[in-house]
Amino acid sequence: MKNITVGLIKKLRNITGISILDCKHALVKSKGDINLAINNLRKSGIVKAQNRSIYNTNEGAIFVCVKDNIGVLVELNCETDFVAKNIDFISFGNKIVNYIINNNLIKLINLKETFKNRINLLISKFGENINIKRFKLLKGDYIEYYLHNNNKIGVLLLVDKFDNDPNKIKFIKNITMHIAASNPISIYSDDIPNKIIDKEIEIQKCLANKISDNPNIIKQIVNGRIKKFINSLTLCKQKFIFDTSKNVECFLKNYEINLKKFIRFEINNKS
C-alpha cells in the first residue's frame, strides 16, 4: 500500500477534477493505487459527473410551486431537450420547488449542496450535465403562476388582496400569460433600471445623428424613440395581448386590481 500523500491526492484531483475529500476516499479504498482509484471513480459515476460540468446546459425546464401565499420559480438546466422532457428530470425539478417552499430556503448554494448527490446520479444516468441555475421566491396575499412553451417560460405574479370575482381571477391569469409572451422588465416605467435607458439613449443618439445634424430634430427623434422603448418594456404600458385596443393599465383600472411584483424565468435568459 502506497503512502497517501498530499501530492498523490492533488494528482488524482488534477486528473479527475473532483473534490480533495473524494480523492482521498478513493485512494484509501484503492490502497494508494491511483489507476485503480480512477477506475473505481469512473464506475461509481463520480468522475463522469464532474467531467460533465464543462458542457453547456442550454436546455432545461422551469418549475413552479405555490403554497400558503408563497410562490417559487426554479430553472433547472441540462444539455438536451430530450433530457428536459424525461420523467426523472421533471420529477427532480418538482422535488426541488417543493423542498424550497417547505424548508423556507433562500440561498442557491444551500440548495445545490442539498441536492448534490441526486444531481450526480442524474448526470451519471443521462450522461449530461445537470445544473440548478437559479430560483426566486414571492410572498404575499395572492400569487398566480403560469408555465408556457413546454415549461421553457415561467411566471409568478403577486397581486394585492381583491374580492374573489371569477372574472378578476381569469384576468389575473391572463396577465401572467401576457407577461410570459411580452416579456416586460417592470410593472411601472419608473422601475426600469437607468442603465438600460441610458444605453438605449446612446444607441438612439447615434442613429439619429445619421438622419439629421439639427440638434432639435435629433432630440425629438431620440425622445420619441425612448418613450416607445420604455413603453415596450413596461407591463402597464404594453398593449394587452387579449385585447390590443387598450394597454394593460386600462384593464387594471377597470378591474380595480393592483399588481405588486412579478418574476419571469425563461430558459437561458437572465430576465
200: pLDDT strictly greater than 70: yes
| Mean pLDDT of the region 72-76 | 97
Q: How far is CA 17 from CA 35, 59, 71, in A?
A: 15, 24, 36
Find the Cα–Cα–Cα–Cα dihedral 193, 135, 164, 141, rounded to 10°: -80
Side-chain-side CA neighbours of residue 203 (13 Å): 9
pLDDT digits (tens, 9 = 90+) for 28-60: 999 998 888 887 887 676 765 555 555 567 899
What proportion of the chain, given as a percentage, has pLDDT over 70? 94
Residues 73 and 131 in one domain: yes
Q: How many domains does the chain have?
A: 2
Side-chain-side CA neighbours of residue 199 (13 Å): 5
Residues 35 and 17 in one domain: yes
Residues 46 and 68 in one domain: no
Q: Which CATH number do you get for residue 99?
A: 3.30.479.20
Give strand pairing partners of 73: 64, 136
Q: Which helix (H) or strand (E) holds 25?
A: helix 20-29
Q: Which helix (H) or strand (E) holds 147?
A: strand 142-148
139, 157, 190 - which closes a domain: 139
116, 139, 162 - which closes a domain: 139
86, 119, 139 - which closes a domain: 139
Residues 48 and 63 in one domain: no
Side-chain-side CA neighbours of residue 211 (13 Å): 13
Domain-embedded: residue 163: no
Domain-embedded: residue 130: yes
Side-chain-side CA neighbours of residue 97 (13 Å): 23
pLDDT digits (tens, 9 = 90+) for 114-161: 999 999 999 989 989 899 999 999 999 899 999 998 899 999 999 998
pLDDT digits (tens, 9 = 90+) for 5-25: 998 898 888 777 788 898 899
What is the extent of the structural domain holding 101? 59-139
Return mean pLDDT, the chain: 91
